[in-house]
Amino acid sequence: MENKLRFYNTLTRKVEQFIPNVDGKVAMYTCGPTVYHFAHIGNLRSYIMEDLLEKTLRYIGYDVKRVMNITDVGHLSSDADTGEDKMLKGAKREHKTVMEIAKFYTDAFFQDCAKLNIKTPDVVEPATNCIPEFIHMIETLLEKGYAYEQGGNIYFDTSKLEEYYVFSNQNEQELLVGVRDDVDEDENKRNKSDFVLWFTKSKFDDQELKWESPWGLGYPGWHIECSCISMKHLGEYMDIHCGGVDNIFPHHTNEIAQSESYLGHKWCNYWFHVHHLNDKSGKMSKSKGDFLTVSLLESKGYDPVVYRMFCLQSHYRKPLEFSYEVLDNMSAAYEKLVKRIGSLQQEGELDQEQYRAYREKFESAICDDLNSSMAITVLYDMLKADISDATKYALAESFDQVLSLNLTTAHAAKAAENQVDAELEKYILSKIEERKAAKKEKDFAKADAIRAELLSQGIVLEDTREGVKWKRA
Ligand code: AMP
Ligand code: ZN
């Protein structure tokens, strides 16, 4: 089939035409969340833009298989092999077991994704499901001489590679975006850039999850999971590997080192990285400042889909700064947009020529390095154009397969919600009147019963100087 899509490949540092290994099929892998806390909306920016890539591929006709891991073991807070184990940190914080924490935050992650219309990947695999695969890969790396045992741990020997810093010719210092917290040197390492494949001796005596291995009771390093899980489901050749820019080093660099040493050939052709969402103070964090989550946005009255639109209005290769002011503008624009689409007459003949022309415009925008804001401009232009309502409606429905902004359903859903609200209000006001009458007749038991009845339905009555008011509990 025709390969129309072009996007930036971090490996070659160029915008390239995408050509999969097998014509018409795409093997795609995404680094999943570390499930020790809620995802912040920065993490979710990455997943929104990866979802956009997957949906673009499907839209232009590829058969995509997408795999995602769930990191429930081995990810230390520095992204290198130092700092605390993130899962352990979460378990201690909430006085729960690591597995309870993993289950809770995995579910929370997919609930957030659903609210943002992020499709669940075809395969989702927690790291703790794949311990035998990790052990097998590490054994092979030891046999091939790419790994060594030192101080009880197994390390990958980066000096055995022709090229370790595959993503750029920058030095390690410049690449250390991912290293966040305390960094202390591990004296067992032969080379500074070596990394742990399997821990048996770590500074966490209280490490909860441990498994038997040929090297003793222990647990895997973080990087090995993505190599093994992707190969388990996608085989030895992969087309696209995704993640946020902080994953480039050391995580993806190490994934390539161990995967290609294990396989003996090139592993993945295209690396897709999403730039960060920042807050005013800089990098978004789960521990400092406002912890921005989807639930927080909802509690402030925002529709999560408006945050998706906020992300789509900016290019995935540019850092994006979050602000409520911009989100407010986006909310207003979104409401107008879906109202406009909701007012279109759906019935009638399609103008096939216009339909094809606008689909092509939309495709060429989105296929041009995922220019999502241009794709939204095509949507606006199309709505303004002199074409039939039915054609506009069909085009909005079609574009939404990629944009996933509930373009054709939001308005009706909102109207139904308003209808329910109006009926509810009528019912509550009638109850308030009934209670007032009961009070007048000094039937306080009845008045209290009415208040209790409403409370059981989540409605609280408040007696104020201006009369009785109600609110949701
Ligand atoms: P983690 O749960 O820390 O493993 O991260 C999940 C995903 O979010 C990874 O792909 C990260 O690269 C990405 N990520 C982390 N911080 C941000 C941010 N501020 N903006 C966008 N993506 C991020
Ligand atoms: Zn990964």
The 10s digit of each residue's pLDDT in 14-69 is 999 999 999 999 999 999 999 999 999 999 999 999 999 999 999 999 999 999 99
| Calpha distance 338→330 (Å, rounded) | 12
Q: Whose CA is nearest to atom 8 of ligand 1?
A: 43
Categorize the per-residue pLDDT at 76 as very low, low, confident or very high, splitting at 50, 70 and 90: low
Centre of ligand 1 to C-alpha 341, Å, is: 34
- Contact present, 30 and 66 (Cβ < 8 Å): yes
Q: Residue 96: helix, strand or coil by DSSP?
A: coil
Residue 124 has pLDDT above 80, yes or no: yes
Centre of ligand 1 to C-alpha 429, Å, is: 48
Closest ligand to C-alpha of residue 75 is 1
- Omega of the bond prior to 250 within 30 degrees of 0, cis? yes
| Calpha distance 255→330 (Å, rounded) | 38
Closest ligand to C-alpha of residue 178 is 1
Ligand 1 atom with the smallest distance to the CA of 242 is: 10
Residue 430 has pLDDT above 90, yes or no: yes
Ligand 1 atom with the smallest distance to the CA of 46 is: 22
Edge-to-edge strand list for the sheet holding 195-199: 147-150, 153-156, 195-199, 219-220
Query: For the purposes of burial, counting CB atoms within 10 Å of the CB of 236, is it exposed (0-12), middle (13-18) or buried (19 or more)?
Result: middle
- Contact present, 222 and 204 (Cβ < 8 Å): no
Give 193's Cβ-side CA count (13 Å radius).
20
| Calpha distance 222→163 (Å, rounded) | 21
Centre of ligand 2 to C-alpha 242, Å, is: 8
Centre of ligand 2 to C-alpha 34, Å, is: 10
Q: In whole angstroms, what separates CA 16 from the centre of its chain? A: 24
Q: Whose CA is nearest to atom 9 of ligand 1?
A: 244
Residue 287 has pLDDT above 90, yes or no: no
- Contact present, 42 and 292 (Cβ < 8 Å): yes
User: Residues of the chain with pLDDT > 90: what percent?
Assistant: 76
pLDDT value of position 169: 56
Residue 179 has pLDDT above 80, yes or no: no
Ligand 1 atom with the smallest distance to the CA of 278 is: 19
Closest ligand to C-alpha of residue 68 is 2
Structure tokens at 306: 């408006």
Residue 381 has pLDDT above 50, yes or no: yes
Q: Which amino acid does the sequence have at 149?
A: E
Structure tokens at 94: 């909430």
pTM: 0.88
Domain boundaries, the chain: 6-274, 288-408, 411-472
Ligand 1 atom with the smallest distance to the CA of 243 is: 10
**Phi-psi category of residue 83: left, alpha or beta, with phi > 0 → left and psi -120 to 50 → alpha:** left
| Calpha distance 119→155 (Å, rounded) | 36
Closest ligand to C-alpha of residue 278 is 1
Indicate the Cα dihedral angle 365, 371, 372, 376, nearest 10°.
-50
Q: In whole angstroms, what separates CA 77 from the centre of its chain? A: 19
Interstrand relation of 320-321 and 268-274 (parallel, antiparallel or unpaired): unpaired
**Ligand 1, CB cutoff 6 Å, lining residues:** 31, 33-34, 42-43, 45-46, 71, 243-244, 246-247, 274, 276-277, 283-284
Average confidence score pLDDT of the chain: 91
Categorize the per-residue pLDDT at 183 as very low, low, confident or very high, splitting at 50, 70 and 90: very low
| Calpha distance 293→299 (Å, rounded) | 10
Q: In whole angstroms, what separates CA 210 from the centre of its chain? A: 28
Q: Which amino acid does the sequence have at 133?
A: E
pLDDT value of position 177: 43
Q: Residue 274: helix, strand or coil by DSSP?
A: strand
Centre of ligand 2 to C-alpha 27, Å, is: 15
Ligand 1 atom with the smallest distance to the CA of 39 is: 2
Those residues with Cβ within 8 angstroms of residue 453's Cβ, 6 or more apart along the chain or in another chain: 431
Closest ligand to C-alpha of residue 106 is 1
Mean pLDDT of 324-335: 97
Q: Whose CA is nearest to atom 14 of ligand 1?
A: 43
Ligand 1 atom with the smallest distance to the CA of 275 is: 21
Best probe residue, ligand 1, of 37, 40, 43, 293 (max atoms within 8 Å of C-beta): 43
If you classify domain 6-274 with CATH, what class do you get?
alpha beta
- Contact present, 54 and 108 (Cβ < 8 Å): no
Q: Which amino acid does the sequence have at 321?
A: E
Interstrand relation of 282-283 and 277-279 (parallel, antiparallel or unpaired): antiparallel
Residue 329 has pLDDT above 60, yes or no: yes
